[in-house]
């Protein structure tokens, strides 16, 4: 296969759109991210019951919206009526759950490099990977910077690779296992995204020496972020892009 394109790897990326400074996984968050000077953004994409990709982290609605029940129990039209801003702050009341296509449009308009985390509901890994990758390929067609797809689900990553083989992909893992190199090779990813709490200097050095990119989440402490950057970490995914960028 042709080598995958690289990605800009902004030093700081806002987590779930605007980090802690906006309701998570919303278009308002993308604006905040841009205003803070971040070059890139991470957000989560999940399928509704009717197979529409939307920006959503949890499989259930109450933590981030005024809705009840599971995402998978509802169609896109009903989910669109929910408020995804009010739980964060009243000033964001009325902010909807964005559809993935809207987030693509907004990222392109704001010139934000997008790390699209494929977040399948349990049992829907392959389908989610396939749908999200296909839409990402279409949505960013002709763009100078492609989206970076990532997932904790290896099934979703494989399906994404089948659906959009030309898009760069990163493998998400809470802890870097001993056989990280074999897994990364097998998945055909260009990057490992891992929990900043568990990453060691030796692991970081090994990953970089293998020619892979390295991103960490969710690092909100400027001093630790600096240390991680000194270890060779390419991108810090953070809830506090304001502090980390400063
Ligand atoms: O993609 C990095 C990070 O977002 C992974 O954890 O649970 O916030 O999606 P989570
Ligand atoms: Mg995420």
pLDDT in tens, 89-130: 999 999 999 999 999 999 999 999 999 999 999 999 999 999
Mean pLDDT of 12-31: 98
- Tell how far the Cα of 150 is from the centroid of ligand 1, in angstroms: 10
pLDDT at 199: 98
| pTM for the whole structure | 0.98
Q: How far is the CA of 56 from the centre of ligand 2 (A)?
A: 9
Integer Cα distance of 165 and 192 in angstroms: 18
Cα torsion 86, 89, 93, 95 to 10°: value is -80
| CATH of region 12-245 | 3.20.20.190
Q: Find the helix or strand (DSSP H, E) in which 226 lies.
A: helix 222-230
The CA-atom distances, in angstroms, between 75 and each of 47, 49, 118, 145, 238 are 9, 5, 19, 31, 31
pLDDT band at 1 (very low <50, low <70, confident <90, very high): low
Rounded mean pLDDT, 208-231: 98
- Ligand 2 center from residue 42 Cα (angstroms): 6
- Ligand 1 atom with the smallest distance to the CA of 150 is 1
| Atom 3 (ligand 1) nearest CA | 217
User: What is the percent of the chain with per-residue pLDDT over 70, rounded to a whole number?
Assistant: 98
What are the structural domain ranges in the chain? 12-245
pLDDT in tens, 149-171: 999 999 999 999 999 999 999 99
Residue to substitute in 117, 121, 199 for testing ligand 1 pocket (most ligand atoms within 8 angstroms of CB)? 117
At residue 6 the predicted structure's pLDDT band, cuts being 50, 70 and 90, is: confident
- CA separation for the pair 157, 118 (Å, rounded): 8
Query: 243 alpha carbon to ligand 2 midpoint, in Å?
Result: 20
Residue 53 belongs to what H/E stretch? strand 53-55
Query: What are the tens digits of pLDDT across the range 73-88?
Result: 999 999 999 999 999 9
Ligand 1 is surrounded, with C-beta below 6 A, by 15, 42, 44, 57, 117, 150, 172, 193, 217, 237
CA angle at 219 for the pair 120 and 222, rounded to the nearest 5°: 160
Separation between Cα atoms, residue 35 and residue 160, nearest integer Å: 31
> Ligand 1, closest atom to CA 16?
4
Res 73: pLDDT: 96
Question: Nearest residue CA, atom 1 of ligand 1?
Answer: 117
């Amino acid at each position: 296969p042709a080598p995958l394109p690289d990605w800009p790897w902004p030093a700081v990326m806002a987590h779930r759109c605007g980090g802690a400074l906006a309701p998570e996984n919303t278009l308002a968050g993308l604006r905040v991210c841009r205003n803070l000077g971040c070059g890139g953004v991470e957000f989560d994409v999940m399928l509704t019951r009717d197979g529409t990709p939307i920006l959503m982290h949890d499989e259930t609605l109450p933590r981030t919206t005024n809705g009840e029940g599971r995402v998978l129990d509802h169609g896109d039209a009903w989910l669109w009526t929910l408020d995804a801003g009010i739980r964060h702050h009243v000033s964001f009341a009325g902010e909807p759950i964005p559809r993935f296509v809207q987030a693509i449009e907004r990222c392109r308009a704001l010139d934000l490099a997008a790390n699209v985390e494929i977040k399948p509901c349990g049992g829907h890994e392959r389908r989610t990977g396939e749908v999200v990758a296909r839409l990402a390929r279409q949505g960013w067609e002709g763009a100078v910077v492609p989206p970076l797809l990532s997932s904790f689900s290896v099934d979703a990553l494989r399906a994404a690779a089948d659906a959009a083989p030309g898009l760069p992909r990163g493998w998400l893992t809470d802890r870097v296992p001993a056989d990280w190199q074999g897994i990364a090779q097998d998945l055909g990813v260009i990057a490992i995204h891992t929990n900043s709490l568990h990453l060691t200097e030796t692991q970081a050095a090994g990953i970089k020496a293998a020619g892979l990119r390295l991103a960490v989440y969710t690092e909100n402490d400027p001093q630790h972020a600096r240390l991680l950057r000194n270890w060779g970490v390419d991108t810090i995914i953070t809830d506090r892009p304001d502090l980390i960028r400063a």
